[in-house]
Amino acid sequence: MGIGDKNRMAKLENQLSKALYRAFCPETLELGEYQLGMLSSQQTNKIQTHLAECPHCRAELAQLKSFLKEVGADLETSLADRVRIWIAERIPPGNAGSSGTALAFGLRGEVSSVHFYQAGEAQITLEVQDDPSAPGRKTLVGLVLGDEIAELQAHLWQADQAVATAEVDELGNFTLLGLEPGQYELFMSGPDVEIQIKDLEI
């Protein structure tokens, strides 16, 4: 290889290096959302894995932490004023707050398929059923109860992808159809509140 070829090769490598520099790194906004705990568990795990391998993103995250430390209190207050985020906790059937809720769902399916959650001021009951119109797939039937629950939408996510969406009616009912068995995350969002159910097995 002549000197000219070596120079061209070095120039090409330099151009490729510039073009690919941090091509697979998350955006700064995503790093900020990671630092604030606003990402799904899958996104969080993905960024944690990347941070373990990327010194550039670790340095950028350190800068973001320093910046957010200064403005974080005001930002968190602003977010709290607009939307309350409730992380749902699964509770045993015997501790479910409403016996009427347990009865209504128990009549439609096996008790083992009914799950109860408490999230802030809301009580959520979820039942997984076979989807009669799609063999091998499932239907998720939900009921949300609470004094301040209004205008909610249910959003089902799997592996950072939106899978299904349904309106929660005025009585707190919603149904999501045609679901592949697997693990999901369920978000119920409204003007004033967001309810999150992690690691939902369907």
Domain ranges within the chain, ordered by starting residue: 3-82, 85-201
pLDDT at 179: 95
Give the mean pLDDT per block of 10 residues along the chain (202 residues): 64 57 80 82 88 89 78 54 80 61 43 81 92 91 86 91 92 94 93 89 91
pLDDT at 141: 95
Paired strand residues for 184: 200
Residue 95 exposed, middle or buried by CB count within 10 Å (0-12, 13-18, 19+) = exposed
pLDDT at 107: 41
Query: Rounded to 10 degrees, what is the CA torsion of 59, 63, 66, 71?
Result: -150
Q: Which fold has domain 85-201?
A: Immunoglobulin-like (2.60.40)
Question: Which DSSP helix (H) or strand (E) runs through 166?
Answer: strand 161-167
pLDDT at 103: 38
pLDDT at 105: 46
Of 10, 73, 40, nearest in space to 187 by CA: 40
Q: What is the pTM of this model?
A: 0.54
pLDDT at 77: 53
CB atoms within 10 A of CB 134: 13
